[in-house]
Structure 1
Amino acid sequence: MTVEHLNPASLAPPKGYSHVTVATGRSLAFIAGKIAVDADGALVGAGDYRTQGRVAARNLWLALQAAGGRPDQLARLSIYIVDHTPEREDDVLAGMAEAAVESRIGPTAGILIGVAAVGIPGALVEIEGVAVLD
């Protein structure tokens, strides 16, 4: 399995993602949206976009790991932010970067979408992913 991240010089440099991800492998893992909840389902980081970004990204990594996947096999992420503003986006991406250091999840192709609500009341961030497994 290989995942190659491409950022053409003809496009503006990406901030925290890759413009293109080319992946080859034997199977795909589709990871359902992850929010900032603990193992008991309790919301973590109420009102805190950065904390919720970090915990949601960590939960995505745990789900990928359960599928036998590795961080370098992530090909795409979709990030949903409640009441999106540039400041909230920065907080979410900073939290995700903290989780990335822990789990070594690198930039992938993806999209960031502002939404009215996600998953459960009080959740501010939801992240889903696609990985290409060996």
Structure 2
Amino acid sequence: MSQAESFIRSADLSDAAQYAYASTAPAEARLIFLAGACPLDLDGSLVGVGDYVAQAEKGMENLRVALTAAGAQLDDVVNIRVLVASSKQSDLVDAWAVVREAFGQRDRPSTLMGVTVLGYTDQLVEIEAVAAVIE
């Protein structure tokens, strides 16, 4: 749906974030709300214990699989939220770099949050997304 969504920027807001501040999807779009993509292998084991980058990579891999199962792809994502279990900004930046690279020039509105704990033991990263597709 990459040609149908609209990304909103404003000269009245800083461009330091290097992403759109909002997005819209046309009324006829089917919205897909993805659960947080966790760094789990198919057998349910956690990938990359202690490694923010490895967990972000696995989270993005699982996000792609979930998007495909829902009939979408990364180009259809209109919003992203990245949760990182850390109070260190450098850990958040490491996880964000993986997500940013995966989306390339597609500067979706995004939120990067440091949280105290995530759902699985030793889990450091979780990636949520909303996609919109026109069928």
TM bracket, shorter-chain basis: 0.7 to 0.9
Q: How many pairs are equivalent? A: 131
Matching of residues 21-100 of structure 1 within 5 Å: 21-24=23-26, 25-100=28-103
RMSD: 1.9
Q: Deviations over 1:6-61 (max 9, x none)?
A: 22222111535321112124311110011111122111111111111121122112
Q: Deviations over 1:58-111 (max 9, x none)?
A: 21121011100121211111211102321011100122234335xx8x322232
Q: Which runs of no fewer than 5 residues in structure 2 stay unpaired?
A: none
Conservation of the 8 A alpha-carbon contact between 2:37 and 2:128: yes
TM-score, length basis structure 2: 0.85
1:82 counterpart letter in structure 2 = A
1:58 counterpart letter in structure 2 = E
TM-score, length basis structure 1: 0.86
Matches of 1:53 and 1:17, distance apart in 2: 19
Q: Which residue of 2 aligns with 1:9?
A: 11
Conservation of the 8 A alpha-carbon contact between 1:54 and 1:98: no
Conservation of the 8 A alpha-carbon contact between 2:92 and 2:113: no
Q: Which secondary structure state, in structure 2, belongs to the residue aligned with residue 131 of structure 1? A: strand
1:17 counterpart letter in structure 2 = Y
Matches of 2:113 and 2:133, distance apart in 1: 26
Matches of 1:30 and 1:22, distance apart in 2: 14
Q: Which runs of no fewer than 5 residues in structure 1 stay unpaired?
A: none
Matches of 1:26 and 1:98, distance apart in 2: 26
Deviation above 6 Å: which 4+ runs of structure 1? none
1:118 counterpart letter in structure 2 = L
Conservation of the 8 A alpha-carbon contact between 1:3 and 1:72: no
